[in-house]
Amino acid sequence: MIWNHTKECMSREQMRDLQGRRLHKIVEYVYHNVPFYRNKLQQAGITPDDIETIDDIVRLPFTTKQDLRDNYPFGLQAAPMSEIIRIHASSGTTGNPTIVGYTRKDVGVWSECMARCLTAYGISRDDIFSVAYGYGLFTGGLGVHYGVENLGAAVVPASTGNTEKHVRLLRDLGVTGIACTPSYALHLAETMERMGVSRNDIRLRVGAFGAEPWTENMRREIEDKLGLKAYNLYGLSEIMGPCVSYECSEQDDSHICEDHYFPEIVDPETLERRPNGDVGELVFTTLTKTGMPLLRYRTRDLCTLRDDPCPCGRTAVRMGRILGRSDDMLIIRGINVFPSQIESVILSMPECAPHYRLIIDRVDNLDRLTVQVEVRQEFWANGFDTLTPITDLEKTVAARLRSVLSINAVVQIKAPGTLERFEGKAKIIQDNRKLD
Ligand code: ADP
Ligand code: ZN
């Protein structure tokens, strides 16, 4: 099923036309309503009339998270406060939160895009859908909530916290779909296990997971434990919230709602546009937003783009999984390390549970990476809690990390259930280095 056939399946040529017209309009809009952009455009010697096709976008200046911080809280807002009906903030994974105001039109576009995502996952009016993202300033909860209502399924606004109660709700109500972070999905599975509720006792068949990076191995793990099909859901508050891109039934990269959010991949160093297929920083221009429109916003998320046809019939460009953020990519002894690479190594080992921490210290001026990882319950129970097998496993994980990442890590195997669990975005990295 496709929610909006006209917009999701238009020819590439029609899409480019539409994007070009919308880009011209949005540049004109910010030129007249946001002093920050008027100055930037004037400095670059550009007037709105210079923007005729979508290819002209490369002439526009970039916007960064720092620009949002410098203009905190409402400096980049284009609409008057009388038009704003909702305010959210980014979760501040990498610093102070940034504030985003939405007009009624923006909230409408958001729930339209969210309905597209849910339909692509196979959700319909007949479903009962639980939203287990946090409700509040974070866009996850309310963003998905409005989409489910727009679609017409029954929304259960579970939010995070009180996981046992949530498990009972899933079971008693026969909930069929759920949205949460992938780490919360694992936490939910563990809680079910502890409560003696098996995947056959619940009716979940679709999961929409995002807000933090995850891997194919984690997808298999979640699908297996919860007995559902796990789909990727991507978004960021600066651009809208969850709904910027979504996987279809192919589960092969995520279609971008390109008629509203125009994607580019640039080299994070030179800021030059990179061709499809290259890994680089994802940049979005909001083509229709009226509350806080952004031109060429640098997401810091690293991924690839592709525009080859998808068997599902949608024509929108697809983005690959987020490989990391250009600003939280770890540099350990000069080597670029993405936490997702470490996660892949851990999850490829049958003895290791998907719960781990990465701790980076500087000892005698050298970086030291410590990887703490929990062993799975079934191995622990089988006499694993004695010294030799633990030491052996630590050595094996360390050797794998060395062969994949070319770095030496101190591996510490932990007993099941000993590392802290997260309900929102997981905080798995602790970087204790003082770099000055
Ligand atoms: P922040 O975390 O920057 O404070 P948000 O709460 O808006 O702000 O989170 C947006 C960020 O979350 C994205 O830029 C991206 O790094 C991450 N993210 C969201 N969805 C996904 C996803 N499906 N896969 C990987 N990362 C994601
Ligand atoms: Zn598709």
Residue 389 has pLDDT above 90, yes or no: no
Determine whether the shortest distance from the Cβ of 299 to ligand 1 is under 6 A.
Answer: yes
Residue 254 CB less than 6 A away from ligand 1: no
pLDDT score of 185 more than 90: yes
pLDDT at 436: 43
Contact 343, 322 (CB under 8 A): no
Atom in ligand 1 nearest the alpha carbon of residue 299: 14
Asked if residue 322 has its Cβ within 6 Å of ligand 1, the reply is: yes
Q: At 211, is the secondary structure helix, strand, or coil?
A: coil
Per-residue confidence band for 96, with pLDDT thresholds at 50, 70 and 90: low
Ligand 1 neighbour 237 (Cβ under 6 A)? yes
Ligand 1 neighbourhood includes 99 CB (under 6 angstroms): no
Contacts (Cβ under 8 Å, ≥6 apart) of 146: 107, 110, 111, 114
Q: Does residue 401 contact residue 411 with C-beta atoms inside 8 Å?
A: yes
DSSP for 339-381 reads: HHHHHHHHHTSTTEEEEEEEEEEEETTEEEEEEEEEEPHHHII
- Given a contact cutoff of 8 angstroms between Cβ atoms, the answer to whether 374 and 353 are in contact is yes
Measured from the alpha carbon of residue 245, the closest ligand is 1
* Neighbour count for residue 376 (Cβ, 10 Å): 16
Q: Atom of ligand 1 at shortest distance to CA of 237? A: 7
Angle, alpha carbons 155-157-159 (nearest 5°): 145
218 Cβ below 6 A of ligand 1: no
207-216 mean pLDDT:
91
The reported pLDDT for the residue numbered 258 is 98
pLDDT at residue number 385: 67
What length does the chain have? 436
Q: What pLDDT, on the 0 to 100 scale, is given for residue 406?
A: 80
Atom nearest to 238 CA in ligand 1: 7
Residue 95: predicted pLDDT = 57
Across the range 262-289, mean pLDDT stands at: 96
pLDDT at 325: 79
Which ligand is in closest contact with the Cα of 237?
Answer: 1
Q: From the CA of 272, how far away is ligand 1's center (Å)?
A: 23
pLDDT of residue 161: 86
Give 174 Cα–ligand 2 centroid separation in angstroms.
28
How many other C-beta atoms can be found within 10 angstroms of the C-beta atom of residue 250? Answer: 13
Q: Is the CB of 285 under 6 A from ligand 1?
A: no
Measured CA to CA, the distance from residue 256 to residue 263 in angstroms comes to 8
pLDDT 10s digits, 139-164: 999 999 999 999 999 999 999 989 99
CA of 253 to the centre of ligand 2 (A): 8
For the Cβ of 245 lying below 6 angstroms from any atom of ligand 1, the answer is no
Tell me, in angstroms, the distance from the centre of ligand 2 to residue 118's CA.
13
Calculate what percentage of the chain has a pLDDT beyond 90.
80
Task: Tell me the average pLDDT across 105-109.
Answer: 98
DSSP symbols for 32-86? HH-HHHHHHHHHTT--GGG--SGGGGGGSPPB-HHHHHHTTTTTT--S-GGGEEE
Sequence-distant (≥ 6) Cβ neighbours of residue 251 within 8 angstroms: 219, 229, 231, 232
CA distance 272 to 253: 23
Whether the CB-CB separation of 116 and 243 falls below 8 Å is answered with: yes
CA 111 to chain centre: 17
Distance from chain centroid for Cα 54:
26
How would CATH label the architecture of 1-327?
Answer: 3-Layer(aba) Sandwich (3.40)
* Sign of the CA dihedral running 173, 179, 180, 183: positive
Ligand whose nearest atom lies closest to the CA of 117: 2
pLDDT the model gives residue 94: 54
Q: What burial letters (b/e) apply to 317-338, b meaning 16+ CB within 10 Å?
A: bbbbbbbbbbeeebebeeeebb
- Residue 309 pLDDT class (50, 70, 90 cuts): very high
Model pLDDT, residue 382: 75
Rounded-to-integer distance, Cα 232 and Cα 253, Å: 8
Q: What is the pLDDT of residues 10-51, one digit of tens each?
A: 999 999 999 999 999 999 999 999 999 999 999 999 999 999
Of 36-40, 124-128, 320-324, 370-374, least confident by mean pLDDT is 320-324
Sorted by where each begins, the domain ranges of the chain are 1-327, 330-431
> Is there a shared CATH topology between the 1-327 domain and the 330-431 domain?
no
- Whose CA is closest to atom 11 on ligand 1? 236
CA distance 96 to 345: 32
pLDDT in tens, 398-428: 999 998 888 899 999 999 999 999 888 888 8
Spatial separation of the C-alpha atoms in residues 364 and 104, rounded to whole Å: 56
Q: What mean pLDDT, rounded, does the chain reach? A: 93
Does 232 sit in the ligand 1 pocket, CB within 6 Å?
yes
Q: Which of 179-188, 227-236, 284-293 has the lowest mean pLDDT?
A: 179-188
Fold adopted by 330-431 = GMP Synthetase; Chain A, domain 3 (3.30.300)
Q: What is the pLDDT of residue 213?
A: 82
Give the number of other Cβ atoms within 10 Å of residue 56's Cβ.
15
- Nearest ligand atom owner, CA of 92: 1
Query: Which of 193-197, 285-289, 347-351, 385-389 has the weakest average pLDDT?
Result: 385-389
- Residue 235 CA to ligand 1 center (angstroms) comes to 6
pLDDT band at 92 (very low <50, low <70, confident <90, very high): low
Ligand 1 centroid from CA 140, angstroms: 10
Tell whether ligand 1 has an atom less than 6 A from the beta carbon of residue 68: no
pLDDT-above-70 percentage for the chain: 97
Amino acid in position 224: D
Which atom of ligand 1 approaches the CA of 98 most closely? 4
pLDDT at 178 over 80: yes
**Can you give the pLDDT at residue 80?**
98
Determine whether the shortest distance from the Cβ of 210 to ligand 1 is under 6 A. Answer: yes
Mean pLDDT for the stretch of residues 267-292: 96
Ligand nearest to the CA of 312: 2
Per-residue model confidence as pLDDT tens digits over 317-358: 999 999 887 876 787 877 778 788 898 899 999 999 999 999
